Structure 1
Amino acid sequence: MRVYVPATLAMLQQLVADQLLHARSGTAFAVTPRLREAYSEGDDDELADVALREAALASLRLLGDQDPEELPPRRAVLVAEVHDATARPDLDDAVVRLAGPVAMTDVIAAYVDNADAEDAVRAAIDAVDAADLGDEDADFIVGDAQDHDLAWYAPQELPFLLELL
């Protein structure tokens, strides 16, 4: 199953160092049967984009735990092929639970914010919880960050990307 794992730059550093990524609480996103049911139209690519966007939103929550002085505030999502993932429709249509860590050899790609997204991401980190609770202004701030497209990187490019930060 192809999964979209929310991450941070620190988590990507750990992946490069250890060749393994432990998803927070084993949570990832995927094109699940329930996600397919939720969209009356849309091909596999469009549904994969929904899962990617959900993972990018989850990355904002992870960034809230990161030391803002340590690394730039950028959303990151890993795309990987895994064998053991269980749908969690009780949490959301696209949520899956991974049975274990993701190996670097299973990573297909990484999506990471560019530097121009940092201000919007920084603001969204502070607003994401309020947006979840229905605050319309906070939702607008999170939407500004979500409007930034994530850049695609091949797995072998990750060490170079992280070195340039």
Structure 2
Amino acid sequence: MRVYLPCTLSALARTAAAGELGPAPLTGFAVTPALVEWYVSGDTEELEYVALTEAARASLRMIAADLADGVTAPARRVVIAADVPDADVQVSPDVAERGRVRLGAPVPMRLIQAAHVDEESAVPDVEAAALALKAADAGDDDAQFTVDGAEAHELLWYATQEIPDVLG
């Protein structure tokens, strides 16, 4: 099953060094039955894009947590795309979390197919969005506008052999 795993640049560096993304359990997003039912008219590619977008939102939350903890890595959303055994994937029973899945095992590099990463020019918008996220969650329309501004940036696709270049 193709799974989209939210990440940060720091976590991507740890993954590259360790040879796997972990430890388990890991939260990810995938084309689940609930997502297919919700997005009735979409084809597989559209549904995978929805799962990727959900993972990018989760990555933004990870960046916000890092900023709150004083982590100084560049604010670039990262999503790892991996093809994992179905047996390692547990679909969320909560229908409101349409595409959310849990992985019961770490993801070795050999299962990682690509990394999707914000371009460097997105950093100011992503950082502003991460800082505005709490207010946006509380219903602040201006803060939501800031978050939406970061989501307007498309993530760039990198093959696994390009990950060192992204980190360098």
Same structural fold, with TM-score higher than 0.5 when normalized by the shorter chain: yes
User: Which residue matches 1:74?
Assistant: 76
Extract unaligned runs of 5+ from structure 2: none
Aligned length: 163
For 1:2, the aligned partner's letter is R
Aligned counterparts, 1:12-161, within 5 A: 12-22=12-22, 26-66=26-66, 70-83=72-85, 84-90=88-94, 92-161=97-166
Amino acid in the other structure paired with 1:128? L
Please report how far the alpha carbon of residue 128 of structure 1 lies from its aligned counterpart in structure 2 after TM superposition: 1.8
* Unpaired segments ≥5 residues, structure 1: none
Q: Show structure 1 runs of 4+ deviating over 4 A.
A: none
- The one-character-per-residue Cα deviations of 1:99-153 (angstroms, maximum 9, x if unpaired) are 1111111000000000111111011101223323332222211110000011100
Aligned residues of 1:2 and 1:82 also touching (Cα < 8 A): yes
The one-letter code sitting in structure 2 at the alignment partner of 1:82 is V
Q: Deviations over 1:63-101 (max 9, x none)?
A: 123256632110000000111111114260000000111
Give distance in 2, aligned partners of 1:120 and 1:24: 31
Structure 1 residues 124 and 161: CA distance shift in structure 2, 3 A = same
1:89–1:95 contact (8 Å) kept in structure 2: no
Q: Scaled by the length of structure 2, what TM-score is found?
A: 0.91
How many angstroms apart in 1 are the aligned matches of 2:26 and 2:104?
7
Q: Percent identity?
A: 47
For 1:124 and 1:23, the matched residues in 2 are separated by 27
Change (3 A) 1:23 1:30: farther
**Is the contact between residue 78 and residue 109 of structure 1 (CA under 8 Å) also seen in structure 2?**
yes
Deviations 1:42-67 (A, max 9, x none): 10000100000000000011112325
